[in-house]
Structure 1
Amino acid sequence: MSAMPWHEEHWSRLQARRERGALAHALLLCGAPGLGKRQFAQRFVRGLLCTEPVRGEACGHCRGCQLTAAGSHPDRVELTFGLRRDGTPRTEIVVDQIRELSARLALRSQLGGWQVVTIDPADAMNAAAANALLKTLEEPAAQTMLILLADAPWRLPATIRSRCQRIEFHLPEPALALAWLQREGVADGRAALTASGGNPGLAMQWARQGALEQRTEVRRDLAALAGGRGQATEVAKRWLDDEPAQRLWFAAQAAADELRARSLGDRPPLGSALDATALGDWHDASNRTRDGLRGPLRPDLLLLELLSRWR
């Protein structure tokens, strides 16, 4: 994958701070999935751990680069979901993980350079873990860099957010995104970019995984429900069995298109009988349902309630 051109402004600012010796001890990289914040973080970490960087870029051949590439650099820590006692993955980052991290960072760097920690997804820390991280953020060790990655930074406590330099990734200009997709070999970049709501990373992923066909299927299902030709229970079951969160993204997009057509006085493309207010409410409900799939409520009931409201 080629470098994402919308990263360059953030990259230049960070490197300018590094040259002045003014890097913050903690960064919060945030923004929607698909905008490349994780690739940006990897690139930045490699540059920090490199002993011969060129304008912040890792040289690729020094000992630090070799250890990083092998995944065995002693001064790099990657913190993510751990395992429960029964061996199943956790769905949150817990306080014991943060305590272990704090103990690790109390030691000196083994190679004499930066100690670099990435916490991903940082917005999955539970309250106790976030509170435990505060002490490390408030009293950072020298030459220590913490990089927090979050798709939903609003889930982080304000006390955490305020102690990090925030680097927020936004949707690039359509022409820039389309040019990048073309360089990446995405055949129907314009359609993919439309489907992704202007998000080029998602557009590339969906184009290569056949998600555009899924988008068509979602619209076909909603049109059938609106016309009384489908069953909400059957549609809910099918969606749940195959990328439900992605299908809900496309469903929210379809509701927005229906609302736009109605506001222009055109015939809604899916034939929804919902009025403008109900369409707006349904759009919001589909986004809440997508978020709710990660919670304790039964996903089949969430989907069924949403689809029944559409019909």
Structure 2
Amino acid sequence: MSNTFSPWQQRAYDQTVAALDAGRLGHGLLICGPAGLGKREVALALAGHVLGRGDEAAARRSQQLIAAGTHPDLQLVSFIPNKSGDKLRTEIVIEQVREISQKLALTPQYGAAQVVVVDPADAINRAACNALLKTLEEPAPGRYLWLISSDPARLPATIRSRCQRLEFKLPPRAEAMAWLLAQGHAEAAAAEGLDAARGHPGLAARWLRDDGLTLRKQVASDLEQVASGRLGAVELAQRWAADEHADLRLRHAADLALAQASSSGLTEPSRLHKLAAWFDAANRTRDLLRTTVRPDLAMVELLMAWSAANERQPKGNLR
């Protein structure tokens, strides 16, 4: 297990190890909760616990092999290159799920266990889900299939119902603040980051580290300019789509719209409805960015709707 676990990771790890050691953990496990809370790291630590059972030498060997990505009894399933090999697929496809079934049918090379970790499981397409269901319905002793998801509702109910659930939740604010301070962030910056991330310490830490809060302030300024007519939607969409931060910009934009709709000073029902609708549209546009749609085209209509949603917005309302 990692010595750098956060308190919420440690709780999840301890809870699951106790279930494993007591024989209360079945074949399928759905590890779910908001992205950025360290679910994958916990899954790998749990795999080390399962595959390292026996003696200290076996545990050390498993930890070394997992760290190197070469443990023969651990399979990590995620996005693979497309047919042309120039970028990664946006779905986990049926061929990958068939490989999972083949893997779990083999005799383990070390010990008596095998672990397959699928991340992100909510990217498994429909055909692959149908194939995965058969694997979940036919468990074998010592075989573990762990699905990591930040959006488990995207998985079919038939998959979810056949998995036990390990749920990550946002920690209490005091715990999140203490963790951010331990990462070396100043108290004022940590508080600002945590507020912007709506209590999510992992996101706050990433934004503090990677200038995400600066980007958030720029998004707020851009939206104000569009609302006032000083900046065109087409021009802004092209700028927002010009680098790898398009998804994060839309996330910040959706959060800012939600904050504006939740403002105690905003009481006009029609504007509340427009802002709520725009929040939903911004998140749908984020989903479109994962498809083959051109990012700037996906964002133009959204940004054009921003002015209509903010017809009476006073200058400087976003922050």
> TM-score by structure 1 length?
0.90
Cα contact 2:121–2:148 (8 A) shared by 1: yes
Distance 1:60 1:227, change over 3 A: farther
CA separation in 1, counterparts of 2:170 and 2:280? Answer: 21
Secondary structure at 2:115's aligned position in 1?
A: strand
Give the Å deviation of 1:52: 5.4
Cα contact 2:133–2:158 (8 A) shared by 1: yes
Give the Å deviation of 1:215: 0.5
Cα contact 2:48–2:59 (8 A) shared by 1: no
| Pairing 1:310–2:309 present | no
Cα contact 2:219–2:249 (8 A) shared by 1: yes
Larger deviation, residues 44-53 vs 142-151: 44-53
Distance 1:302 1:59, change over 3 A: farther
Q: Which runs of 5+ in 1 are unaligned?
A: 269-273
Give the Å deviation of 1:174: 1.1
CA separation in 2, counterparts of 1:226 and 1:83? Answer: 40
Give the Å deviation of 1:257: 2.3
Give the Å deviation of 1:182: 0.7
Distance 1:245 1:21, change over 3 A: same
1:48-87 aligned at under 5 Å gives the runs 48-51=50-53, 62-87=60-85
Cα contact 2:49–2:59 (8 A) shared by 1: no
Cα contact 1:51–1:64 (8 A) shared by 2: no
Aligned to 1:298: 294
CA separation in 1, counterparts of 2:305 and 2:121? Answer: 34
CA separation in 1, counterparts of 2:9 and 2:111? Answer: 29
Aligned to 1:289: 285
What amino acid sits opposite 2:172 in the alignment? E
Cα contact 2:25–2:164 (8 A) shared by 1: no
What amino acid sits opposite 1:137 in the alignment? L
Cα contact 1:34–1:201 (8 A) shared by 2: yes
CA separation in 2, counterparts of 1:244 and 1:111? Answer: 44
CA separation in 2, counterparts of 1:189 and 1:65? Answer: 33
Aligned to 1:7: 9
Give the Å deviation of 1:196: 1.3
CA separation in 2, counterparts of 1:265 and 1:96? Answer: 51
CA separation in 2, counterparts of 1:63 and 1:39? Answer: 18
Cα contact 1:51–1:62 (8 A) shared by 2: no
Aligned to 2:131: 132
What amino acid sits opposite 1:226 in the alignment? A
Secondary structure at 1:186's aligned position in 2?
A: coil
Give the Å deviation of 1:113: 2.6
Secondary structure at 2:185's aligned position in 1?
A: coil
CA separation in 1, counterparts of 2:192 and 2:208? Answer: 9
Secondary structure at 1:62's aligned position in 2?
A: helix
| Pairing 1:112–2:111 present | yes
Aligned to 1:177: 176
CA separation in 2, counterparts of 1:161 and 1:174? Answer: 30
Cα contact 1:27–1:165 (8 A) shared by 2: yes
Larger deviation, residues 137-146 vs 18-27: 18-27
CA separation in 2, counterparts of 1:155 and 1:2? Answer: 31
Secondary structure at 1:275's aligned position in 2?
A: helix
Distance 1:9 1:70, change over 3 A: closer
Distance 1:281 1:265, change over 3 A: closer
Distance 1:161 1:104, change over 3 A: same
CA separation in 2, counterparts of 1:218 and 1:153? Answer: 29
Distance 1:246 1:59, change over 3 A: farther
> TM-score by structure 2 length?
0.87
- Residue 275 of structure 1, aligned match among 271, 277, 287: 271
Aligned to 1:241: 242
Aligned to 1:271: none
CA separation in 1, counterparts of 2:157 and 2:15? Answer: 24
Aligned to 1:216: 217
What amino acid sits opposite 1:220 in the alignment? S
Give the Å deviation of 1:96: 1.5
Cα contact 2:51–2:59 (8 A) shared by 1: no
Q: Which runs of 5+ in 2 are unaligned?
A: 308-319
Aligned to 1:199: 200
Cα contact 1:225–1:310 (8 A) shared by 2: yes
Question: What number of residue pairs does the alignment pair up?
Answer: 300
CA separation in 2, counterparts of 1:218 and 1:178? Answer: 25
Tell me the C-alpha RMSD between the 2 structures.
Answer: 2.2
Give the Å deviation of 1:16: 2.0
Aligned to 1:251: 253
Distance 1:144 1:60, change over 3 A: closer
Larger deviation, residues 96-105 vs 274-283: 274-283
Structure 1 segments (4+ residues) deviating >4 Å = 58-61
Cα contact 2:53–2:59 (8 A) shared by 1: no
CA separation in 1, counterparts of 2:99 and 2:113? Answer: 18
Aligned to 1:155: 154
Q: Percent identity?
A: 46
